[in-house]
Amino acid sequence: MNKQERIQTIQTIRKRTKPARILSAVVTGGAFLAAHFFDQSIWSMLVLICALAVSGVMLGRESFEISRLSDSTRAKRLIRLRSIMGFGIISLMLLMIVTTELRDDTDMALLYVAGFMLIGIVIEIVLEYRIHRADPEQPMSKEYR
C-alpha cells in the first residue's frame, strides 16, 4: 500500500471514530470541569479517571488500526507508542492540574501545563521522525490531520 492509499485509509478510520472521540472528549472535559469547580473532589476525580480510561481504550484501538497499515514491526510499535505517549501526557497533565488546584497552588498548574506541552511536542517530533525512518511510506500525522 503506497503513502496516498494509507492517508485515505487513515482518514476513513478517523472519520469512523470521530463521533466516539468527540463524545469521549466532552465527557473528559466535563469531568475535568467538575473536578475543577465542584467541592465533590473524590467523585469528580473518579469520573475523570474513568473518562480518561475510556478515551485511552478508544485511542488504543484507533492506533492499532493505523499501525496495521505498516509492514514494518518497528513502525507498528512506534505508532502505538506515539499514541500511548500522547494520551499519557494529556492524562498526567489533567490529573496534575486537578491535584494542584485542590491544594490551592494554581501557579504550579500553569507550570505543569507548559512543561507537559513542551515534553509532548518533543516526544511527538522524535517519534514521527523514527516512524518515518522505520517505514518511509507511513504518512506523518500532519499529512492526514
10-residue averages of pLDDT along the chain (145 residues): 89 90 87 74 77 86 91 93 90 80 74 86 93 91 79
- Expressed as residue numbers, the domain containing 86 is 3-144
Looking at residue 46, its pLDDT comes to 81
Structurally, how many domains does the chain consist of?
A: 1
Hunting for cell 463524545 — which residue is that?
Answer: 23
* Angle value at C-alpha 34, between 107 and 97, nearest 5 degrees: 25
Write down the pTM of the prediction. Answer: 0.82
